[in-house]
Amino acid sequence: MSTASHRALLPEGLQDRLPPAALFESWIVARLSDVIHAHGYDRVDPPLIEFEETLLAGPAPVQAWDLFRLVDPVSQRTLAVRGDITGQVARIANNRLDGAERPLRLSYAGQVLRVRGTQLRHDRQAQQVGCELFAPPSPQADAEVVLIAIEALEAIGITDPTVDLTVPTLVPTIGQALALDVDVRDHIRRALDAKNAAAVQELGGKPAQLFLDLMAAAGPARRALEQLALLDLPLPAFEILDGLRRLVELVTAARPDARLTIDPCEYRAHEWHAGIGFTLFGADVRRGELGRGGRYLTGAKRDSHATATGVTLYVDSLVGAVPPPPPVPLVFLPAGTPAAEGRRLRRDGWRTLAALDAEGDPRAEARRLGCSHVCIDDSVEAVD
């Protein structure tokens, strides 16, 4: 291996984003952020690195084994690189903005870094865009965040996103109401999450049939709610489902074309949610989820039951989900072109590339440099 190629190597799961992909990614971030901001969410920008114990204390599912660590030479304390931004935004809301009026709406965009990638996402560094609504738990708050996520995805060209809704508190609530042993409840939760009907059947009797019916209810939202309403569920479970039903009503009232599905048994990746959870998918998107969200406990000191509903959109998945916008035409400015002419063209929406020295044939030079047009005598002409 040559010295030059050795210096170009990057660690596994990290990559350079080259033209035009880097510009495309920034365009996606800008469009998503603009939609969220238009809904009244104010931008915050937490640091990339924090004290390790601060990151681990947040509500987001940050695991100690998935954090990059280093020692702060100033404080001699252990620092960690964030693997998620949700917890940082909750920290800001609970501390720096503790006195701000509620509901409090915050948004963010930034890079995260994890020790290892996943089967679907090999990249360890990723760009996130999201928002958090700090408000008392309500279907209205949940619906607002779901609708913003749909609108944001549509803004970049995903016209048919699917929102898969779940209620991760439902199965534990049923297990507790049925007075099932803790080990049995854990077994059922894992079996349902894996869609393992045989493992559920091992429970036997009426509880096993109830959980099998619960698993069979997954599907399009309206049909799923109808099937769930027919089940002989404990009262606390129906109270949870009533909130889910109201959420579906609110979203479909605002967006009759919204594609909503319900999986009442889904738990994986929503373990930390204290209310509804949801996952965003797009047709023909092969990199898995486009984003995730839900309601969670914020850990606010003044209210141990304070909640927020948020969503995180995965830019790396979105990059592969939509075609890039058409490139802005690039105009070659030959040597001697007045600076005012270049400013005029840029104001009119062109990109310009100025010659650094005199060239022989302006058209040939423009073609060599990848320009689509050339400015000749204050006139823009296409390069043949």
Displacement of CA 138 from its chain's centroid (Å): 21
Homologous superfamily assigned to 12-152+292-308: Bira Bifunctional Protein; Domain 2 (3.30.930.10)
Q: Name the burial class of residue 301, with classes exposed (0-12), middle (13-18) and buried (19+) by CB atoms within 10 angstroms of its CB.
A: exposed
Q: Where residue 314 falls among pLDDT bands split at 50, 70, 90? A: very high
- pLDDT tens digits, residue range 9-59? 888 888 899 999 999 999 999 999 999 999 999 999 999 999 999 988 877
Q: Pick the range with the lowest mean pLDDT from 37-46, 187-196, 326-335.
A: 187-196
* pTM score: 0.92
CA distance 161 to 261: 11
User: How do the domains of the chain map onto residue ranges?
Assistant: 12-152+292-308, 330-382
Q: Where residue 285 falls among pLDDT bands split at 50, 70, 90? A: low
Q: Where residue 287 falls among pLDDT bands split at 50, 70, 90? A: low
How much of the chain, in percent, has pLDDT values that exceed 70? 93
- pLDDT tens digits, residue range 93-130? 999 999 999 999 999 999 999 887 666 666 889 999 99
Q: What is the pLDDT of residue 30?
A: 97
pLDDT at 64 over 90: no
Q: Where residue 302 falls among pLDDT bands split at 50, 70, 90? A: low
Q: What is the pLDDT of residue 24?
A: 96
The rounded mean pLDDT for the chain is 90
- pLDDT tens digits, residue range 263-282? 998 877 677 788 999 999 99
Amino acid type, 130:
G
pLDDT at 87 over 60: yes
- pLDDT tens digits, residue range 203-235? 888 888 999 999 999 999 999 999 999 999 999
Apex CA 321: angle with CA 318 and CA 322, to 5°? 100
Q: Where residue 137 falls among pLDDT bands split at 50, 70, 90? A: very high
Q: What is the pLDDT of residue 57?
A: 83
In the block, which residue shows the tokens 């204390």? Answer: 57
Q: What is the pLDDT of residue 203?
A: 80
Cβ-contact 276, 248 below 8 angstroms: no
Omega cis (within 30) before 103: yes
Q: What is the pLDDT of residue 116?
A: 79
Identify the residue with better confidence: 251 or 169. Answer: 251
CA distance 118 to 360: 53
